[in-house]
Structures are given as structure tokens and as C-alpha cells.
Amino acid sequence: MPIHHDNSPPPQAQTGAPSILVRELNYRYPDGFHALRGLSVAIAPGERVGLVGPNGAGKSTFMLHLNGLLSGEGEIRIAGLPLSKEKLPEVRALVGMVFQNPDDQLFSPTVFDDVAFGPLHMGYGEEEVRQRVAEALAAVGMADFAERMPYHLSVGQKKRVSLATVLAMGPELLVLDEPSAGLDPRGRRQLIELLDGMALTMLVSTHDMRLVDELFPRILVMDAGQIVYDGETSAVLNDDAFLRAHGLEKP
Ligand SMILES: Nc1ncnc2c1ncn2[C@@H]1O[C@H](COP(=O)(O)OP(=O)(O)OP(=O)(O)O)[C@@H](O)[C@H]1O
Ligand SMILES: [Mg+2]
């Protein structure tokens, strides 16, 4: 790995590198619980990958590693960049992460402020920020909610606004933790269409096997801190015994 000098090319220029590369990732929570046990995976630019598995499998724990919010043993690279202290701001600008719990994502007095937060901190001017916020809120069907208090929104509305906070930053990679949880059927359909229309690398955890079937040709199945399957979605969805063994169901 060459050392990056100040005049090194921007991350986008590192063509050929996987969007996400993870090697032998192990993580123990401070109480000693061994939550990730030797995870390895490579996801190419533009790939759309579903992440499934029973409650407690380690999906959220894994995702929180991908922008350095948790840090275990092993190697992680995002678009070729290591998650070192120096590279962390660059990595965070590339990775749009939506947390499982929207209350971890929303903290401003208005929806507008929450969605504007990212673009403002990226240094965009007022007009550009306004436009980004408007587009992101429209994309998630929340255009009329800009002046509302995030705290008082319904769960599904909060999930939509959380996604908008990430879209407004124009990430290269989406890491979404259960984005359809709490959405009504129309919201779920809008989400599927929205994701389907975006040419970004996506890693999306969900218990919604229909969503997986529609959007993700490749699936990672996690159980007890390990990836127990990595491959074609269609193969897994036709393997009843495997699905049952890992607490999953056919769509
Ligand atoms: N702060 C923590 N301290 C100790 N153990 C934790 C902590 N957070 C999570 N765990 C444990 O780590 C394991 C993985 O949890 P994680 O939240 O990653 O699962 P998940 O696959 O996302 O589940 P779900 O489908 O319910 O969202 C679980 O056994 C959980 O109890
Ligand atoms: Mg989770």
C-alpha cells in the first residue's frame, strides 16, 4: 500500500479498488461479547448487496464498522482507503450511513436543519444546501415536513428523514440498516423505487425478504457473528432448509 502524500489523488481516483473490503474482522463489545467473528467480504463498485440474518446476528455491529464508529481487529478499506485516523473524514464523506434507530440520526430542531447539517459541514453555500435539502426530502416523500420537529415525527417518517440526511450529502456508497422498518406499503414501494434508481454501491440490512428479492442480486447471510452465506440471492431463497436454519423465510 503506497503511503498517501498530500498531493495524492482523491479517493474517487482509486479505480479498481472494491467499494468495501473487509478481511478477518473481529469485534468484542466492551463487556467481552464476541459479536463479529472473522468476517471477510469484498463488494465491488456499483454492487447492491442485501444483509440478512436473525436478531443479534451482528448486522448492525458490522455496519457501524464501515465508517469507523466501531473499530475491531482486522482490515477494512472503503474505496481503497484504510479506516485510519487520517483517512476517517474522507471515508465518512464517501459512506452514507443510515442507522437502525432514527433517533440516533436526528438531533436538530427542524427536519430542514437535520438534512442541511451534512451539506453545510461539507462547505456548500446556502443556495446549494437549500437545493440539496429540497431534493433529498422530495426523494423520500417528505417535502412538506421541512419545518416540523424530527422528534415528533412517526417512526416511518423518521426513517425517511434519516435517509434524506444521507442522500443530501451525495455519498458514493449507501450503508442502510433496516431502511424499510416501519414504512407503510406505499413508503416501502417508494423506497424500493428510489434505491432502484440510484447507481450507487449499496449494502442494506433488512428482515424484509421481498425487498431483498427485488433489489439485491447478492446476499450476505449473517448468523452468530459470522457470514454463513455470500452469493446469489436466488440460490438462498430456494433453499428452504438453509433459510429455516438461519431464522429466515421465503418472501
Ligand atoms: N453495546 C453492546 N454491548 C454488548 N453487546 C452488544 C452491544 N450491542 C449489541 N450487542 C450484542 O451484539 C450482538 C449483535 O448485535 P447487533 O445489534 O449487531 O445485531 P443485529 O444483527 O443488528 O440484530 P437486529 O436484527 O435485531 O437488528 C447481539 O448479541 C447483541 O446483544
Ligand atoms: Mg440491527
pLDDT-based confidence at residue 57 (cuts at 50, 70, 90): very high
250 in a structural domain? no
Residue 44: count other Cβ atoms within 10 Å of its Cβ: 14
Of the bound ligands, which one is closest to the alpha carbon of residue 61? 1
Of the bound ligands, which one is closest to the alpha carbon of residue 222? 1
Residue 187 has pLDDT above 90, yes or no: no
251 in a structural domain? no
Residue 183 has pLDDT above 80, yes or no: yes
Pocket residue to mutate for ligand 1, from 27, 61, 63, most atoms within 8 A of Cβ: 61
Residue 222 CA: nearest ligand 1 atom is 21
- How many angstroms does the Cα of residue 3 sit away from the middle of ligand 2? 35
208 in a structural domain? yes
DSSP one-letter code for 103: G
Residue nearest to atom 26 of ligand 1 (CA): 55
- How many angstroms does the Cα of residue 124 sit away from the middle of ligand 2? 32
Taking Cα atoms as reference points, which of 77, 80, 4 lies closest to residue 40? 77
Query: Any idea what the CATH number is for the domain that residue 53 is in?
Result: 3.40.50.300
- The predicted model scores a pTM of 0.91
Residue 189 has pLDDT above 80, yes or no: yes
5 in a structural domain? no
Nine-digit cell at 138? Answer: 422530495
pLDDT at res. 82 = 94
- How many angstroms does the Cα of residue 168 sit away from the middle of ligand 1? 29
Pocket residue to mutate for ligand 1, from 27, 28, 29, most atoms within 8 A of Cβ: 29
1 in a structural domain? no
Total of domains in the chain: 1
- How many angstroms does the Cα of residue 200 sit away from the middle of ligand 1? 27
187 in a structural domain? yes
Taking Cα atoms as reference points, which of 82, 106, 54 lies closest to residue 223? 54
231 in a structural domain? yes
List the single range of 1-5, 178-182, 214-218 with lowest mean pLDDT: 1-5
Q: How many helices (H) and strands (E) does the chain have?
A: 9, 10
Q: How crowded is the C-beta side of 154, counted as CA atoms within 13 Å?
A: 8
47 in a structural domain? yes
Mean pLDDT, the chain, rounded, equals 92
Residue 5 has pLDDT above 70, yes or no: no
Which residues sit with their C-beta closer than 6 Å to ligand 1? 29, 31, 33, 35, 53, 55-61, 100
Range of the domain at 225: 17-245
Nine-digit cell at 142? Answer: 417528505
pLDDT at res. 182 = 86
pLDDT tens column, 122-131:
999 999 999 9
Taking Cα atoms as reference points, which of 67, 109, 87, 112 lies closest to residue 8? 87
